[in-house]
A = this chain, B = another copy of it.
Amino acid sequence: MKNGRIAVGVLGIDHRHIYGMLQGMLDVGCEAVAWWTDGEPIPTNGFRDRFPDLKRVADKRAILEDKTIDLVLISAIPRDRADLAEAAMRHGKDVMVDKPGCIDVVQLARLRAAAAESGRIWSVDFSERFEVPAVTKAAELVAAGAVGKVVQTVGLGPHRHNPHLRPAWFYDRAATGGILCDIGSHQIDQFLFFAGLDDAEIAFAATENFANPAHPAFEDFGEIVLRGRGARGYVRVDWFTPDALPTWGDGRLVILGTEGTIELRKYVDVGGRAGGDHLFLSNKTRYEWIDAREAGTPYFGCLAADIRDRTQSAMPQAHAFRVTELAIQAQRLCDQARQPSQ
């Protein structure tokens, strides 16, 4: 940390989420030092356009062994994220990783051990919460009691498939971890967060390949039912965003409370108002639209404070691990169900 400024390195830019991850940290005063990635993944040009002055290094050790770097951002192929995160923590660096943070229980156990032994932060940028001001506003309303006690959430996460823009690893189940492990993890995060739970169980999970026979191992649909103390969650994720939609997905979150309901239309309000971050609140006294665009995205600033102060304000460390574990468990339930019976 030079003059109190957090220094950031980048390992792996295989997913475009790296743009938001790095910009988020720069916006709260961090300094980017260098980036490394393996080869020339599709986001390379976009990354160079956004961060033209940032130095690329040819060997990741140049970042791991740079003692001035405090935080490493990782958006490599999901399969490779755990190795990079573990190495970063073992080199004394805090980590922010794109979701999924890892893709199997062996990787997860190694990450838990590395975080515990190094005392470093392993944070997952659940961008569908942390980069969405409407979610910030919903959190404020729920905390203020606007819907009573939260008893259920429904998260709908359609994503644009864009097959012509996808790298080969996108269709390699062993590289992605599967649809529930990947984009399902966002939704598990939001359920635990809004229900105020530190744990839950997977009551049901299923995946499907409804419409992509050319990629038999690809899952274009997944669903999970979560059950926790006093609350339930339903999650649906899919790759069926309609072509004409002006954004990558009509992501929704419906928060059902004993005295009110909140619906988020995060990215688009089809046939309605322009822009994103639409919040709809119904409770004992009102039913209304709330413009949540200005509610902010405190995750990045909180993480910077956590790096300085060794706190857990952005996200409890146990939450990051437990969400990832539940996503892996949900995926595993589906994989086991698909095994031919003996």
Contacts and interface: CB of A to CB of B under 8 A. Distances in A.
A149 interface: yes
A293 interface: no
Question: What is the total number of copies of this protein in its complex?
Answer: 2
A225 B227 contact: no
B270 A280 contact: yes
User: Taking chain A's interface residues, is the majority helix, strand, or loop, or is none over half, making it mixed?
Assistant: strand
Contacts of A151: 208, 210-211, 221, 238, 240
Contacts of A156: 154, 254
A180 to B, nearest CB: 14
Given A242-B261, A280-B270, A284-B243, A208 B232 contact: yes
A51 interface: no
B206 A225 contact: yes
A173 to B, nearest CB: 20
Nearest to A263: B270
Contacts of A281: 270
A257 B148 CA distance: 35
Contacts of A254: 156
A271 B250 contact: no
Contact of A242 (B221, B259, B271): B259
A230 B259 CA distance: 37
